[in-house]
Structure 1
Amino acid sequence: MMMTIQYGLLIALAIALLYAAFTDIRSRTISNGLNIAIAAGAPVFWWASGLAFWPDIIIQFGVAIAAFAVFAGLFAVGMMGGGDVKLLTVLALWIEPSGFLQLLIVMSIAGGILTLLMAMVHLMRRRKDKLAIPYGVAIAIGAFSILGPRLIEMPPLA
């Protein structure tokens, strides 16, 4: 039963990440409502995963607070969007610290590639406006580097 709930929550998170990426491509925004929904699912995921309050859940909160502090600083200097900061913060509630570090590394690589591709298209079209990168795509790719193997490893529900 717990495994079914955990699996369902991971699928819901995957769908939410796809939605975040597509809305970021379309409008360069990631909604607060989506981030709230992802955050609200984290305690249910902790319960289904059997996490202990101490130290597991406290560590998840600590990583989320640290992520928010770092990425809010990047937002303050104009290097990151607010929706991206919130999405990374709520993902830190779902993913253990070592996995979150992997997410950040994969996200950085994907974001760099995405930025280069978009800059080339921007230049080829001779656009003069500011280049806006839908970084939610890179965040989703980083998250899928963690979630994908978990979803594949899950035992059959029957």
Structure 2
Amino acid sequence: MGEIFVPALLTILVVLLVSAGIEDVRHREIANWKNAAIALLAPLWWVAIGLPLWPGMALQFALGLGVLLLFAIAFALGQMGGGDVKLLGALALWLPIQPLVSMLVLMSLLGGVLTLLLLADKHVRRSDAALEIPYGVAIVLAGLIVLREPILNQFG
């Protein structure tokens, strides 16, 4: 059963992530329905990969909730958008602890590079506009890089 659903769920996840990244670049916003879809598909992923209810599914839920709460602090401090926080929480539901930590570190590095590029662009254009970082792009890229193994393993 997982042989059919695992690649289908990964494909849907990739499409949703890429769509969220594009939307964040274009509108500096990520639709709630995309974040909700990513979060609501995670339990199907857990079943498809054969994750046991205890402690597997419980741990994944706790990781997602923990990431959501941690980054909600960044949102409350005005350092991150709400859509980005929800995207992180939803994506955390899909990743075990080690890939999740790798994704968060990679996201931070990519976000820093993105910020530097946008600052350089602002300087070149001599703009006084407030800098808005589409951090969803860093989240999506980091997520896709971390997911590359289960995605590519489907074709091996």
TM-score, normalisation: structure 2: 0.97
Task: Give ranges in structure 1 of 5+ residues lacking alignment.
Answer: none
Tell me the CA shift for residue 64 of structure 1. 1.1
Task: Give ranges in structure 2 of 5+ residues lacking alignment.
Answer: none
Any residues of structure 2 matched to 1:78-117 within 5 Å, and which?
Answer: 78-117=78-117
Tell me the CA shift for residue 150 of structure 1. 1.3
Q: Which moved more, 1:130-139 or 1:146-155?
A: 146-155
Deviations 1:77-122 (A, max 9, x none): 1110000000000011111111110110111111000000011001
RMSD: 1.0
Whole-Å separation in 2 of the counterparts to 1:94 and 1:105: 16
Any residues of structure 2 matched to 1:112-123 within 5 Å, and which?
Answer: 112-123=112-123
Aligned-partner residue type, residue 24 of structure 1: D
Aligned partner of 1:146 in structure 2 is 146
Aligned-partner residue type, residue 55 of structure 2: P
SS in structure 2 of the partner of residue 85 of structure 1: helix
Whole-Å separation in 1 of the counterparts to 2:38 and 2:140: 13
Tell me the CA shift for residue 153 of structure 1. 1.2
Whole-Å separation in 2 of the counterparts to 1:30 and 1:147: 20
TM-score, normalisation: structure 1: 0.96
Aligned-partner residue type, residue 59 of structure 1: L
Whole-Å separation in 2 of the counterparts to 1:148 and 1:128: 39
Whole-Å separation in 2 of the counterparts to 1:115 and 1:131: 9
Identity of aligned residues (%): 40
Any residues of structure 2 matched to 1:2-151 within 5 Å, and which?
Answer: 2-151=2-151
Tell me the CA shift for residue 155 of structure 1. 4.4
Higher relative contact order (CA 8 A, sep 6+): 1
Tell me the CA shift for residue 43 of structure 1. 1.0
